Chain A
């Protein structure tokens, strides 16, 4: 029935509506999110004088950077219909490792290399568990989460490591030309992510693996190595995030990762990437991270009790997926 109605429905659309219908799904999805973001900003500017100021915008961008970096790696994973539940635990272990080495050796370079490679190695381990040992992503990375937490707690013994050299701290709390350094990192990795996902063969193959792994395999995509790649990237981004965390907070302790994983997944989902794979974008994830950050920012500025923040986050995730289902024309996922 809906098929017979469709032609007349399209014919009756005019002007902007027809233009909108001609946009590909992915663009529609990003455009809708941009609109939601704009409305949120507008409402917040009306509600609080402090909101639409340069310093608060930079503040929000800096806060969103850590979340975006974690979520960007996770976006690739979720595009393959996978999941990485270990990112938060990865951040905690990598941060503690980097912190110990910077304190112990006095060398920033050693700490940075250790944090990044620890993140990357954990990601590769996830990828190998999933592809070669054939453990489902949810379980492999969930198991990894426990292993990493255990190692971190044992390693730290309840201690806090704090106080790092200013040169290192600049990655997290420094400014360049009046803009916080993490914001540049967010911009750079957004660009890399956009180009990689949309313009490279590997990126397109990742979409293909997520949409239909069997079809991808038959058309010659090396499915296993692409899967290892996405988990490795997700791990490496967690390693990078751990360094920014350290530099920004000037300290590390064993339990810092526990509150990072779920918001990162929420940012990806709010951004329109489907848990079923094959659909989504980096730009969407950026908007997702911004919306989540704005919710906390807005509640703090308006002195609304921020205990409601998780509730609001949940509602936004559900609404975002609901609207995607409504607007997606083809395959309803």
Chain B
């Protein structure tokens, strides 16, 4: 699986370096910016973008900060890319405010930009492609409320305070719970999106709360930390995660995780790339593509059980319809 990714990126390099005339019909060069190499979501996003570019005979060059979510690094990567003048850019800002100057530079260089995943605070964009974190929180929260029949005690394990993704997800969780008067939130503690911290927080909460029926975790890594804590203490509770990772799908299959909210990185990558290329080719696009919040549970996990590497993008028309 690793090997395949390798060959794949090697191919991308060959294509971008060599004379593409025989291979590509149009061969536009698209620079793709993602936030880090550590989050499986962005890995899926990049693979989606690659898949779309391959289908449409365009070339992809990826830019990822070596230090995860580094603002200065992404800034200088943007500056480098502007010098190289790609035909289009797919841009996920590591910080929705701090990268606004970088967006202005891309605009000034007259390179069309598709904003993906995290909405930039300002700037001119061809389109925005993303999902709503609030809806993910709300829908996964509703799933737990329904599974508990509107009654029970639960805890929230939050991500990093002050980040847009976390505040939206937690707001969604809380709004879902507000609709169920029989549900009580015992604690809402930060696990900083980290597995170990979520495990320890959960172990501690289990000490002080003998009756605990559900856990809402703001990402899958923390959900799996919470599951380990529950198993270690021989306790049972329904656990929810967000991100739709392979790990979460495996946990759903094993009956350990109730559900995960899907951010669908692969599809976001597909559509963002397609939008960029279609815009260059003067084909119709949508200014705004917001994926509906999708909840993966034991009834519908099968399609997500295939490794991201072997998925391929849907047709534009099909993807936009859904």
Chain A residues at the B interface, C-beta cutoff of 8 Å: 48, 50-51, 53, 55-56, 59, 62-63, 66, 146, 149-150, 153-154, 156-160, 162-163, 173, 245, 248-251, 253-256, 259-260, 296-297, 299-301, 303, 305-307
Count residues on chain B whose CB falls below 8 Å from chain A CBs: 41
- Which of B195, B204, B225 is the one whose CB lies under 8 Å from A296? B204
Complexed CA–CA distance, A55 and B204 (Å):
10
In angstroms, how far is the closest chain A Cβ from the Cβ of B61?
17
Residues in B neighbouring A173, C-beta threshold 8 A: 228, 231-232
State whether the Cβ of B2 lies closer than 8 Å to any Cβ in chain A.
yes
Using known A-B contacts A63-B203, A158-B43, A249-B225, determine if residue A254 contacts B195 with beta carbons closer than 8 Å. Answer: no
Closest to B200 in A: A63
State whether the Cβ of B241 lies closer than 8 Å to any Cβ in chain A.
no
In angstroms, how far is the closest chain A Cβ from the Cβ of B146?
26
Complexed CA–CA distance, A249 and B225 (Å):
6
Using known A-B contacts A163-B250, A253-B221, determine if residue A158 contacts B37 with beta carbons closer than 8 Å. Answer: yes
Q: Which of A158, A245, A307 gathers most chain B CB within 10 Å?
A: A158
Residues in A neighbouring B245, C-beta threshold 8 A: 160
Residues in B neighbouring A150, C-beta threshold 8 A: 66
Complexed CA–CA distance, A91 and B109 (Å):
43
Using known A-B contacts A158-B37, A307-B190, determine if residue A251 contacts B195 with beta carbons closer than 8 Å. Answer: yes
Residues in B neighbouring A296, C-beta threshold 8 A: 200-201, 204
Closest to A152 in B: B38
- Which of A48, A160, A256, A305 is the one whose CB lies under 8 Å from B40? A160
Using known A-B contacts A173-B228, A249-B196, A300-B189, determine if residue A157 contacts B5 with beta carbons closer than 8 Å. Answer: yes
Complexed CA–CA distance, A251 and B194 (Å):
12
Residues in A neighbouring B225, C-beta threshold 8 A: 249
- Which of B66, B208, B221 is the one whose CB lies under 8 Å from A300? B208
- Which of A50, A260, A307 is the one whose CB lies under 8 Å from B208? A50
Identify 12 residue pairs between A and B in the complex whose beta-carbon atoms are under 8 Å apart, listed by A's number. A63-B200, A150-B66, A160-B247, A162-B224, A173-B232, A249-B196, A249-B225, A250-B228, A254-B37, A254-B38, A259-B194, A300-B187
| Residue contact A259 to B66, C-beta cutoff 8 Å | no
Complexed CA–CA distance, A173 and B221 (Å):
18
- Which of B196, B208, B247 is the one whose CB lies under 8 Å from A162? B247
* Known A251-B224, A296-B204; further 5 A-B contacts with Cβ < 8 A: A157-B2, A160-B246, A162-B247, A301-B204, A307-B161
Closest to B220 in A: A160
State whether the Cβ of B186 lies closer than 8 Å to any Cβ in chain A.
yes
Residues in B neighbouring A162, C-beta threshold 8 A: 224, 247, 250
Closest to A180 in B: B232
| Residue contact B250 to A255, C-beta cutoff 8 Å | no
Closest to A55 in B: B207
State whether the Cβ of B192 lies closer than 8 Å to any Cβ in chain A.
yes
Binary contact readout B15-55 vs A (1 if CB under 8 angstroms, 0 otherwise): 00000000000000000000011111011000000000000
| Residue contact A248 to B224, C-beta cutoff 8 Å | no
Complexed CA–CA distance, A157 and B194 (Å):
18
Complexed CA–CA distance, A37 and B246 (Å):
42
Complexed CA–CA distance, A301 and B208 (Å):
6
Complexed CA–CA distance, A255 and B69 (Å):
12
| Residue contact A157 to B43, C-beta cutoff 8 Å | yes
Using known A-B contacts A63-B200, A253-B38, determine if residue A53 contacts B192 with beta carbons closer than 8 Å. Answer: no
Closest to B203 in A: A59
Using known A-B contacts A158-B43, A259-B196, A296-B200, determine if residue A153 contacts B37 with beta carbons closer than 8 Å. Answer: yes
In angstroms, how far is the closest chain B Cβ from the Cβ of A155?
9
- Which of B2, B208, B221, B246 is the one whose CB lies under 8 Å from A48? B208
- Which of B68, B161, B232 is the one whose CB lies under 8 Å from A255? B68
In angstroms, how far is the closest chain A Cβ from the Cβ of B2?
7
Using known A-B contacts A56-B207, A173-B232, determine if residue A259 contacts B192 with beta carbons closer than 8 Å. Answer: yes
Using known A-B contacts A173-B232, A251-B247, A255-B68, determine if residue A53 contacts B189 with beta carbons closer than 8 Å. Answer: no
Closest to B40 in A: A158
Complexed CA–CA distance, A305 and B192 (Å):
13
Complexed CA–CA distance, A321 and B101 (Å):
43
State whether the Cβ of B148 lies closer than 8 Å to any Cβ in chain A.
no
Residues in A neighbouring B66, C-beta threshold 8 A: 149-150, 153
State whether the Cβ of B71 lies closer than 8 Å to any Cβ in chain A.
no
| Residue contact B228 to A303, C-beta cutoff 8 Å | no
- Which of A59, A158, A307 is the one whose CB lies under 8 Å from B42? A158
Complexed CA–CA distance, A302 and B187 (Å):
9
Residues in A neighbouring B285, C-beta threshold 8 A: none
State whether the Cβ of B102 lies closer than 8 Å to any Cβ in chain A.
no
- Which of A51, A159, A300 is the one whose CB lies under 8 Å from B201? A300
| Residue contact B43 to A159, C-beta cutoff 8 Å | yes
State whether the Cβ of B312 lies closer than 8 Å to any Cβ in chain A.
no
Sorted nearest first, the 3 A-B pairs with minimum C-beta distance are A158-B43, A300-B204, A50-B208
Complexed CA–CA distance, A219 and B124 (Å):
70
Complexed CA–CA distance, A248 and B225 (Å):
9
In angstroms, how far is the closest chain B Cβ from the Cβ of A208?
36
Residues in A neighbouring B201, C-beta threshold 8 A: 296, 300, 306
Q: Which of B181-210 contact A (CB under 8 A)?
A: 186-190, 192, 194-197, 199-201, 203-205, 207-208
Complexed CA–CA distance, A63 and B203 (Å):
9
Residues in B neighbouring A301, C-beta threshold 8 A: 204, 207-208
Complexed CA–CA distance, A287 and B221 (Å):
30
| Residue contact A303 to B187, C-beta cutoff 8 Å | yes
| Residue contact B189 to A305, C-beta cutoff 8 Å | yes
